[in-house]
Amino acid sequence: MASVDAEKFRLAVLNPGGRDHEQHFAENRSAAPNEHAPVNFHAYAACTHGAVFRETKRAIASGWPVLLLLRGDFRASERALAELKKSKNKTAVALKETGAHQIAQQLSDPARFARLVKIVGDANGGVASTPEAADFFRSFRDDEIDFIPTPYPIEDDNWNWAMENRSGIFVGTREFAVPSRNHLTALLAAKKLSDTTKEPVTVFNVDRRRGAKLISEIGFRKIRVHEKRMNYRAYLGEVARHKIIFQLDRSRVPGQVAGDALLCRSVCVGGDGAIERIAFPETCGEKRSDAELIEIAGRLLTNENERRAVAEGATKIAKEKLSFRAGRETLARFFASCAL
C-alpha cells in the first residue's frame, strides 16, 4: 500500500462498555491531562489520528475500520461484532489482555473459550499485540492474523522525555501477586545492584501494607517508594530520572515497561515483552538468565558510554519499527488486506 493511503487511514478502536471515555486523536494535538495517553490500545487509534469508542453505534458512525477489543467474558464484544457486521464496517479483533497468564486464564472456561473462537472466526481479521497472541489466534484461524506491536510516539517531541544527569535503578514491575512478573525477585536483584554500585532504587508499591512490609523486609539502603499512582506524564518524568529500568518479567506482555523506557530515551534491562524483544535485543530477558541480566544491569550502571549506545540503538529501532508512522502504515496495509 502506498504511503499516501496510509496517511488517509483512520482507525476506530472499540472497547464496548469499557471505562475509558470516547477520545479522538486529531493531528498535531497531544492528549490533555485528563485524557488517556496515546499508549497501549489507544496508540492504535492515536497513530492513525483515529478515535477510541465505548459505544458501538459511535464507532459505526465514524465510517472507519474498527479494531474491536475482546475482554471479560466476551459477551459485549460478541454483541458489538454482530452490529458491526450488519453495518458492513470492516472489523478486526484483538485480545485486550495478552500476557501469557491472562491468555491461560481466558482458556480456563470452556464457554468463554468457545465464544472467543467464534468471535475470531466471524471477524474480518485479528490483530495481536504480542507474537504469542498471534500464534494463539492462528491455532483456530489461519488467515488475516497479524502481530502488530503497540506503537509509541517516538517521533513526537511532546513525548520525548530525554534527561541528563540520571541516577538510580527504576524497578519497572509492581505486582507481587502475579508469579510470572517476578517482582520480588527483581527487587532482590535491585538491592544487590544497589549495594554494589551505590545507586538508589525506586519502586511503586500498589499492594499497600503487604507490599510495604515485603519491601521493608528486603532491607534496602537507598530506596524511594511511591505509594500513590501518578498520571502518565508525571510517571514518565519519574522514570526518566533513572539510569536504567530493570525488571525480570516473564509474562510475554506487549511491553509497556520497555515502551516507557523508549519515550524516556533510557535503557530497559530484562523483560520478555514484545517491545523489549524488538527494541532492546541486547538487554532483554529473552534467552537470558536472571544472573546474566543482573550482570548486564551492573555494567550499564557504571558505563555511561555503553548505556548511551544501547539507548540510542533502541531509539533507532523504535523509529523504524515502533513509531506512529510505522504503526499507521502497518495497520493500513493490514486492514486493506482483510476482506469484508
pLDDT(2) > 50:
no
pLDDT of residue 244: 98
| pLDDT value at residue 1 | 40
Do 3-151+323-337 and 157-320 come out as alike in CATH topology?
A: yes
Pairing relation of β-strands 12-14 and 23-24? unpaired
CA distance 180 to 200: 25
**Assigned fold of 157-320:** Rossmann fold (3.40.50)
- Rounded Cα distance, 68 and 59, in Å: 10
Q: Which of 83, 147, 90 is nearest to 124 (CA)?
A: 90
Predicted local confidence at residue 94, as pLDDT: 97
What CATH number matches the domain at 3-151+323-337, 1.10.3720.10, 3.40.50.620, 3.20.20.70, 3.40.50.2000? Answer: 3.40.50.2000
Identify the CA nearest to 37 among candidates 202, 151, 203: 151
Question: What CA dihedral angle connects 141, 278, 289 and 239, to 10 degrees?
Answer: -120
Integer angstrom CA distances of residue 224 from 69, 94, 171, 269, 333: 36, 37, 11, 19, 45
pLDDT at 247 over 90: yes
Strand, coil or helix: what is 287?
Answer: coil
CA atoms within 13 A on the CB side of 304: 6
8 A C-beta contact, residue 265 and residue 315? yes
Pairing of strands 51-53, 23-24: antiparallel
Does residue 253 surpass a pLDDT of 50?
Answer: yes
pLDDT in tens, 16-70: 988 889 999 987 555 555 688 999 999 999 999 999 999 999 999 999 999 999 9
Q: Contact 131/97 with Cβ under 8 angstroms?
A: no
How far, in Å, CA of 284 to CA of 83, rounded? 42
The reported pLDDT for the residue numbered 26 is 82
What would the pLDDT profile of 175-195 be if each residue is shown by its tens digit?
999 999 999 999 999 999 999
Express each pLDDT in 74-116 by its tens digit: 999 999 999 999 999 999 999 999 998 888 888 889 999 999 9
- Would you list the domain boundaries of the chain? 3-151+323-337, 157-320
* Mean pLDDT in residue range 203-213: 92
Residue 5 has pLDDT above 90, yes or no: no
Would you say the pTM of this structure is higher than 0.85?
A: yes
- Judge whether residue 289 has pLDDT over 50: yes
> What's the whole-number mean pLDDT along residues 168-173?
98
pLDDT value at position 126?
A: 98
In whole numbers, what is the pLDDT of the chain averaged over residues? 94
